[in-house]
Amino acid sequence: MIQRTLQKQLRALGLRFPQLKTYSGRLGLGRLLAKATPSVQILVDRTVRIELDLRIPMHRFLYYHVDLSAAPEVLLMRQLLSAKDVVVDVGANIGYFSLVAAKYAGRVFAIEASPSTCAKLECNLALNPELAQRIQYHCVGLTAEEGNAVLYNSLAQPDLASLQPLTCADTYTEMIRVTTLDALLDKERFSFLKLDVEGGEWAVLQGAAKHLEHDRPIVLVELIESFQARAGSSCQIIVDHLQQLHYSAWLITSSLEGQPDIKIEPLDLALLSPDAANNVLFVPDEKHDQVFSRLNYRSIPS
């Protein structure tokens, strides 16, 4: 099919020249092609099959401009995880993090609040049946207490689904069940926790106090200051809280040299843009040597 061939050619161009972002946007050719062929599949980390819906702006951006196999979080999983690890993926979205984690870890708990996104997560689990056997997923929101809450979502941008009001013109709401991580997993133990919940990270951490104390997991958090402010929190609150629990904070980025490794440096919040998405790795003090001995990194932590 001509449209599919053109999509692949545009993707190859976009991955090679990531600055060419206009053709995947609202008025770009990538959006027009999505009308005829909205669903595409990509391979992440060589073997994980993920389906994207190119009618969704973030999915178009991922398809045309991002090599997920080289994303910092994927490189971290490849280097840090082993078969004895149990991973908790809070904000699992369409499941690519959970599925890559399942390649290397023993078990994965995938947790996603949005029912419509959970349907896409289920689809991607079905595309990877062997890995899906290691994944237990929960369609529920996580916060600091149990109950019900309003989830704000966007038809065009479901990746922005949040327990905080959105400014999107196509915002709609739905009631969902929410609980705490401590209550949901209760007696389960885990060694790696990933958080990406559009500003709700502080509330999730408050509801995970027991596991943070007893399990001492490595914690990977996407921090965006403007999202934290919208939720009445801040990146500083999260950093201070985890440092009080004897965690060190490290900013994780891809190596600028294009090598299959990552760049690690001590986190300095003052240097971060309030609207930038930052991957921050929090490492328990007692696991510092163990963690950094496994990683390929360009900056040697002090």
Q: Tens of pLDDT along 132-150? A: 999 999 999 999 999 999 9
Query: What percent of the chain is modeled with pLDDT above 90?
Result: 72
Strand order in the sheet with 192-195: 135-139, 107-112, 86-90, 192-195, 218-223, 278-284, 247-254, 262-266
Q: Decide if pLDDT at 21 tops 80.
A: no
How does residue 260 score in pLDDT terms, banded at 50, 70 and 90? Answer: low
Query: How many whole angstroms separate alpha carbon 109 and alpha carbon 192?
Result: 10
Q: Decide if pLDDT at 242 tops 70.
A: yes
Q: Tens of pLDDT along 35-82? A: 667 899 999 999 999 999 998 888 988 888 888 999 999 999 999 999
Q: Decide if pLDDT at 103 tops 60.
A: yes
CATH T-level assignment (fold) for domain 71-145+181-294: Rossmann fold (3.40.50)
Question: Which pLDDT belongs to residue 27?
Answer: 45
Question: Which pLDDT belongs to residue 15?
Answer: 72
Tell me where in the chain the CATH 3.40.50.150 domain(s) lie: 71-145+181-294
Q: What is the mean pLDDT of the chain?
A: 90
Q: Tens of pLDDT along 108-119? A: 999 999 999 999
**Those residues with Cβ within 8 angstroms of residue 266's Cβ, 6 or more apart along the chain or in another chain:** 248, 249, 250, 251, 301, 302
Q: Decide if pLDDT at 122 tops 80.
A: yes
